[in-house]
A = this chain, B = another copy of it.
Amino acid sequence: MMYVSRKEHFNAAHKLYNPKWSKEQNVKVFGPCANDNWHGHNFDLITTVKGWPDDETGFVIDLKQLSTLIRREIIDKVDHKNLNMDVPFMEGKLASCENLIIEFWNILEPLIPTIAADAKLHSLKLYETPRNYVEYFGS
């Protein structure tokens, strides 16, 4: 197996807020991340695909096609958006990196073989800041 990765980025607003809780409880748990009027980040998303390089192309997957797919399916839906208000697949969900990356996985995982028949999504890594990030390998 070989693992090929592509990094994309997006800029978005969000807040961490559980609507079932009081404002006090939200502030207690989420601190400044619960700020009513949102805050935001430059997110980096690293997509890793596994497979074996094709004899004719030398590629596990065409990274330009992978980039186009990620941009069309993910970046266009979250870049310069509010993750709590503007993103259909996050509706009713807490806008944490953990919940975001599960949705990203569910979108991308079935689409990878449409670019490279024998390749599979291996992992997603989502940086909220250079110091905080989450990685997911599928359930």
Tally of chain A residues near chain B (CB < 8 A): 63
Which chain B residues border A6 with CB–CB below 8 Å? 131-132
Which B residue sits closest to A48, measured CB to CB? Answer: B135
Q: Smallest distance from the beta carbon of A130 to chain B beta carbons, Å?
A: 7
Which chain B residues border A3 with CB–CB below 8 Å? 134-137
**Of the residues B2, B41, B63, contact of A40 by C-beta under 8 Å:** B41
Mask for A47-72, Cβ within 8 A of B = 1, else 0? 01000010011111011100000000
A35/B86 in contact, CB under 8 A:
yes
Which chain B residues border A129 with CB–CB below 8 Å? 9, 11, 42
CA A7 to CA B7, docked complex, whole Å: 17
B132/A5 in contact, CB under 8 A:
yes
B32/A98 in contact, CB under 8 A:
no
B5/A59 in contact, CB under 8 A:
no
